[in-house]
Structure 1
Amino acid sequence: MSRRRVARRSKKSNAGAIAGGSILALLSAAILAAIGYFAYGAYTRPGIDKETKCPDAGPVEITALLIDTTDPVSEKTLTDARNKFEEEIGSTKVGGLVEIYGLTDTKGELTKMFSGCNPGDGSTVDIWTNNPRLRQRQWEEAFGRPLVEVSDKIEQGHAGNQSPIMAGIQNIKLTVFDRYKSLDVPKKLIVMSDMIEHTDLYSQYASGNDFEAYRKSPAYADFRTSLDNISFKVWYINRGIERFSTRAHPEFWAQWIRDNRGDWDKAIMLEGVNPTTPAGGDS
């Protein structure tokens, strides 16, 4: 009897040891899996520049906005522009760079309004490897609030002596897109303007939508620039000038973009009419 009891106890002890060993093995596997998860996340997560919030390897996409501030804009048009502005910024990928410039009436001179990458908000953060609350604050400070301020600055447009749109586009290409020439990422340029080019080298107030007239002007050589692999979109400000409110005007710019090897996307007419005294003469 005693031997049988000892044997039974021995079997129970062995069973308990086996069960305990299995649990320990499962726990060890879980711990190793967790360590592997964190290690993999740390390895695959790109480093972020503290100032720009861009990946150390460079932005995953580049969007530049050129806002024409050489003439005032009505509240109705501004509201429509704000809506499109928020949609565009809201669709920016995490790690995508946005740079915003204001066009002045001096050729090649731009006002830098904003530059930074989307660091992602709290909804894009892995709660196990990051701090959602901290990331949300970074999003608001580095990408959210400044863009609201930029939107408000659009109201500050004033009548200028020139509208050097081509020179502004050329400057953005040289200072923004060429900075990341080696990156094979989507590149997009949006121009918010009435698109009426007017400088001492060439004026559409005099030449209208005639592209050949532009080709024969000194501006053709001076403002020529390589827009390779850059997608181009226009948010049109309607000035109520009939010859610049027809299809011929966007077609001029589509031809200008393609002539400079860029990719014409589309032109969108913003709501409202913004009459002003043209810099180049009567409408």
Structure 2
Amino acid sequence: MGTAIAVIAAVLVLSVIGAAFWWSDQESRASALDAETLCPETTGPLAMTAILLDLTDPLSPAQHAQLLARIDKEISDAARGTQFTLGVVSEDPTRWGATPPLCKPQDPASANRLTQNERLIAKRYESDFHGPLRNRLLAMVSATGANRSPIMESLQALVAETPGFVTFTGPRRIILVTDLLQHSDALSFYRGGTWDSFRASSGFQRLSRTLDSAEIGIYQVPRPTEGVKDPAILEDFWIRYFERQGAHVPVVTRLGDL
């Protein structure tokens, strides 16, 4: 009887050990990340955020500090596995597009202190994700001076060149840092453009529908001269533009400095 009990006990112990190894292997596979993008290997990105920077005019020091703080909060609030890309508005089409994607990995705040090395997770988060993403942002947050501001065209280039964004069915978010003053051949607020004039133009036929159900956050940079007599024209245009794209109504925050 004693021998049988000992055998049963040994089998149970081996079963527990085997189950622990299986669970550990499954956890390891589930948490495995792509070496370049840091996106989950098994599922790919779980959400996507694309940030477009329209900074052809300089920011004041206060606006610059506000912007970095707000983008940092966007990153901090994003779910683990969210893919980030950045793009700029430029009169030079060769500068349009998206930076290489980076997914948000586990951050130290979510570390299990009993089974994980919080300090190592923090180091990896900063060196592999947050540091590189912030460096890209800092390199792009600088005024270059330009005669044109093709916001719509640059946005579509960012969306098109962000891997998987157009067909992604999970949560999608667009963040625009801009004065909203579209100025290109398709539409120019400086030439008196409105939604009605755009809708009557040939440019309207080129309008894509690539933002279905996307959330839109706009950090509006106020300029000393905003180029149009009635700011309501800007609001009306962009609400209609994103509605036509299938996106949610934009949430606008002004980056003031007074």
Give 1:154-233 correspondences, 5 Å limit. 154-176=140-162, 179-208=164-193, 210-233=194-217
The number of equivalent residue pairs is 254
Alignment partner of 1:43 is 2:26: yes
Mark the CA change 1:38 to 1:126 in structure 2 (over 3 Å): closer, same or farther.
farther
- Listed as ranges, the gaps of 5+ residues in structure 1 are 1-17, 274-283
Q: Is the 8 A contact 2:89 2:155 kept in 1?
A: no
Give 1:103-142 correspondences, 5 Å limit. 103-107=89-93, 109-110=95-96, 112-113=98-99, 115-126=101-112, 132-142=118-128
Partner of 2:253: 268
Partner of 1:76: 62
- Listed as ranges, the gaps of 5+ residues in structure 2 are none
Give 1:190 shift: 0.7
Q: Is the 8 A contact 1:189 1:230 kept in 2?
A: yes
Two-structure CA RMSD over aligned residues (Å): 3.1
Q: Is the 8 A contact 1:93 1:118 kept in 2?
A: yes
Q: Which amino acid aligns with 1:227?
A: L
The normalised TM-score by structure 1 is: 0.77
Give 1:111 shift: 6.0
Mark the CA change 1:134 to 1:79 in structure 2 (over 3 Å): closer, same or farther.
same
Q: Is the 8 A contact 1:64 1:99 kept in 2?
A: yes
Q: Is the 8 A contact 1:55 1:95 kept in 2?
A: yes
Q: Is the 8 A contact 2:37 2:101 kept in 1?
A: yes
Structure possessing the higher radius of gyration over alpha carbons = 1
Give 1:48 shift: 1.5
Alignment partner of 1:238 is 2:226: no
Give 1:142 shift: 1.8
Structure 1 distance, partners of 2:126, 2:11, is 41
Greater CA deviation, 214-223 or 120-129?
120-129
Q: Which amino acid aligns with 1:230?
A: A
Give 1:13-92 correspondences, 5 Å limit. 29=12, 32-33=15-16, 35-44=18-27, 45-56=30-41, 57-92=43-78
